[in-house]
Amino acid sequence: MKRWGAYISIVVAVAVIALLVVQVSKKQWQKDVDMDTVDKALPVTIAAAVQHEFTDDIEGVGTLKARETSLLSPKVAGPVNQVLVDIGDPVIAGEVVIRLDRTNFDLGVKQAQAALAAAQAAIPQASARFEQAEKEYRRATELLEEKVIPQSRFDAAEAAFRAAKGMVSSVRAQRDQAKAALETALEHLKNAYIRSPISGTVVERNVEIGQAVAPGSRLLRIVDQTSLDFDVDLPESDISRLAIGVAAVITADAFPGHEFSGKVTVVNPMVDRKTRTFRVRIKVPNPSGKLVDGMFARVKLSVEKRRFLAVPRNALQRLPGSGTYYVFVVEGNKAHKRTVGIGAMNDQYAEVVDGLVEDDKVVTSGTGRLRSGMDVTVQDVSNKNETDRSGETTLQEDRR
């Protein structure tokens, strides 16, 4: 039993010694790895801090409105014989889009023409009677002065003259009325064909064949969307920054990634007292026809350009839980941490207002393992082409 106890003690002692040897070897290996990591320079990509041209933007939202809208209503009553267009159909100005039954209107024209012909035929007869009555009246006047005829005969000639004169006026008035009635009948006949007053697209239809329609009822809605108006309300603080002709970029959720160009055409000089905003109208050409009336859209107005020092956005690092930014600046073969002040910022670039000078080299990749003072090797200059062309790049500013 004593011999077995000695064997067990020896085995335990050997195991403990082996464990200690393994731990010491592991620590030494880790130390060697750490030394190799420190001694080895970290490969990075850098970019130079250069001057860039920034564009200040004003942004807003609103609804697109068609250049022209026409609500077609009949001018005369009657049953519908034909509807020549449907929703989505293009039309041109003057095109017949709806035809009403013309039977009653044709009859009205014929009746008016007959009445006019009768009134015109009565005029020569009335004129002849008037001329004859006028001659007799003049003769009776002379004879009465010579006391050849009695007063009663003169009175009869005078009354006939006045009656004939009244008849001429009456038949001429009847002719004029008949002419006006004919013009009205012709106009009603013409209005039995309903035409589009504008070129555009049918977007609403409220009529069917056989339907009896009356003046004022809305049958079709046609919009001209070759260009659209975009009204947007902006804060009063921006009124001094905008003028007619300012360029605008329009985007719509319906067409992600697409931009549509426009220009400011109206700047309302009045500020709304309740909202403290003023209205701007932008004309948006729509040759592709993608934009439509009533569509929600966003606008970005480029109102001012300025040049500032900037670095690529991916060079920026942010201290957790704060608004403080920093970059790693490469000096010689070492990277040093430096706090910077940031102004305008977008997805690609950031304006630097403090902490860097032009041509400072900042790390744009490999920052995850960097520590201030570490050795680095430069693999590439990410904005080499931009520095070669004097760094003139237009940026869209997004004030944070």
Q: Could you state, in chain order, the average pLDDT of each consecutive group of 10 residues for the chain (400 residues)?
A: 56 59 52 48 88 81 93 94 95 96 93 89 82 81 80 83 84 88 93 95 94 94 94 89 90 92 94 92 93 93 81 88 88 90 80 90 84 86 59 39
Res 141: pLDDT: 82
- Amino acid residing at 191: N
Measured between alpha carbons, how far is 324 from 342 in angstroms, rounded to an integer? 9
Complete DSSP assignment for 322-386:
SS-EEEEEEETTEEEEEEEEEEEE-SSEEEEEES--TT-EEEEE-GGG--TTEEEEEEEETTHHH
Closest alpha carbon to 218 in 101, 95, 70: 70
Res 137: pLDDT: 76
Res 99: pLDDT: 96
Res 27: pLDDT: 52
* 3-class DSSP state of 377: strand
Closest alpha carbon to 66 in 286, 251, 278, 288: 286
H or E stretch including 169? helix 151-191
Closest alpha carbon to 363 in 385, 372, 387, 354: 372
Measured between alpha carbons, how far is 98 from 166 in angstroms, rounded to an integer? 47
User: What's the Cα-to-Cα distance from 1 to each of 10, 248, 272, rounded to whole Å?
Assistant: 15, 99, 106
Measured between alpha carbons, how far is 75 from 197 in angstroms, rounded to an integer? 13
Given this structure, which CATH class describes domain 74-101+197-218? Answer: mainly beta
Tell me the sheet residues that pair with 159: none
Tokens describing residue 371: 């520590």
Residue whose structure tokens are 């001012």: 304
* 3-class DSSP state of 70: strand
Q: Which CATH superfamily is domain 59-66+222-304 in?
A: Efflux pump adaptor protein, beta barrel domain (2.40.30.170)
Phi, psi of 95 (to 5 degrees): -75, 135
Measured between alpha carbons, how far is 1 from 355 in angstroms, rounded to an integer? 80
12 Cβ contact list (under 8 Å, min separation 6): none
Res 100: pLDDT: 96
Measured between alpha carbons, how far is 113 from 183 in angstroms, rounded to an integer? 9
CATH of domain 42-54+306-396: 2.40.420.20
Res 150: pLDDT: 86
Res 13: pLDDT: 59
Res 186: pLDDT: 93
